[in-house]
Amino acid sequence: MSPLPVALVLFAGQSNALGYGNDGPAPYTPTPRVQIWTDLNRNGAWDRGDGFAAMAPGRNTGTPRNPRAWGPEVAFAKAWLAAHPKGTLYVGKVARGSTALARNDGLDWSPQSRGELFDAARTVSAGMRARLARPRLDAVFWMQGEEDATRPTWAAAYRVNLQGLLAAARAQWMNDPRGYVGLGRIAAPAVPHSRDVRAAQAAVDRADTHAESFDTAGFVLRSDRLHYAASGQLALGQAFYDRWAR
């Protein structure tokens, strides 16, 4: 995928998409040329009262529970700006820690779970596209799977569940049946079934010509062996950009 002078992208997933625990200063200077979908009505929800504002890591890149968190969107935006002396990057971000792709009794990402995270991402993407009068998103970047790696049944179902998510995301988030999806393959040595989820992510990549995954096993983790440190988050965002832009 070649870089675009104006781009609409969505980051989605669980704590490593959010940047959990990563609330120190970010190596980034806010600019009007990078806009992020922001909780402008300050109700703590992803809804139609939100809108774009200049991305300011630590101020509008987190969630109400983790307001100062910043994640892969920082390095991604820096790389995009370096490649584009003109134009604007528009970013959406829907991420919540400890959320599985497998449908369950808690908050999850299953497209069958009405009113939960899949629908939140659909609301954000629809709002972004409507605000800019653009027909589709240019890319989705998915960083998730650690929660599914905590249970053998969820890990065993991850390949089928991820294939279903990508099909539904292209139809309902992207409005593009061939939309590009970048996938970070989890590291997460602290959870017991991470190898199974990683294998499922790689298998989905091989079978899907419009998805691309990469290994995060070498990215620096925090002491919990689950969440990426700041340098790991920067590596994650750079990897998402590099593979999409080439």
DSSP-derived 3-state class of residue 70: coil
Rounded Cα distance, 101 and 93, in Å: 17
Binned at pLDDT 50, 70 and 90, residue 5 comes out as confident
Would you say domain 6-245 falls under CATH 3.40.50.1110? Answer: yes
pLDDT in tens, 42-95: 999 998 789 999 999 999 999 999 999 999 999 999 999 999 999 999 999 999
Q: What is the DSSP letter of 171?
A: I
Angle, CA of 104, 108 and 109, to the nearest 5°: 125
Residue 7's pLDDT is what? 97
CA atoms within 13 Å, Cβ hemisphere of 225: 5
The yes-or-no verdict on residue 1 having pLDDT over 50 is no
Name the residue ranges covered by the structural domains of the chain: 6-245
Residue 59's pLDDT is what? 96
- The model's pTM is 0.97
pLDDT in tens, 139-168: 999 999 999 999 999 999 999 999 999 999
What are the structure tokens assigned to 46, written together?
A: 């992803």
Residue 2's pLDDT is what? 44
